[in-house]
Amino acid sequence: MEKINQRGRNLRKRGVAVVIRHGRVLLVKDKGVHHYSLPGGGCHRGERSYQAAARELYEETGLKAKKITWIGSFKGAVSEHRAFLIEAGGHVHLKARGRKGGGELRAYTWWDMKSPLPIYAHVRMILKMLRKGTKNG
């Protein structure tokens, strides 16, 4: 059953990776935007949301998922963000996609979740779910 937003459109399913190391969460910034987000992206046809989260994490940062744990879902205006806590190996390096123009990301940071930083509302909600142990959002 497809989820429908308030405007009657199908919500796009996204797999979202939450990676925490030393008390800091990994955030990424797309080219051309001001706000940081969690690594992730849309699910391909036939792909489960946890698979999309792990794939996007690797494609965007080079980190390989070792353990994946369900956090919960958050419905935004156009997307349903399905979030997973991921233990990942390796070091972050922004990946270059394709031969022209490079990757889609411009920056990353390990955020302490306290310092002021421009992040999207869905990122705040997902991190709040993680802190509370909530399974649905």
User: What's the DSSP call for residue 135?
Assistant: S
How much is the pLDDT for 134? 52
4 pLDDT above the threshold of 60: no
Question: For 42-53, how does the pLDDT look when each residue is reduced to its tens digit (9 = 90+)?
Answer: 999 999 999 999
Query: Domain residues of the chain, as ranges?
Result: 12-91+103-132
Q: Is residue 128 predicted with pLDDT exceeding 50?
A: yes
Q: Which two tokens stand for residue 75?
A: 């419905």
> Average pLDDT in the 108-115 region?
96
Prediction pTM value: 0.84
User: Cα-Cα-Cα-Cα dihedral of 14, 73, 59, 101, to 10°?
Assistant: 50
Q: What class does CATH assign to 12-91+103-132? A: alpha beta
Q: What is the mean pLDDT of the chain?
A: 87
Beta bridge partners of 88: 65
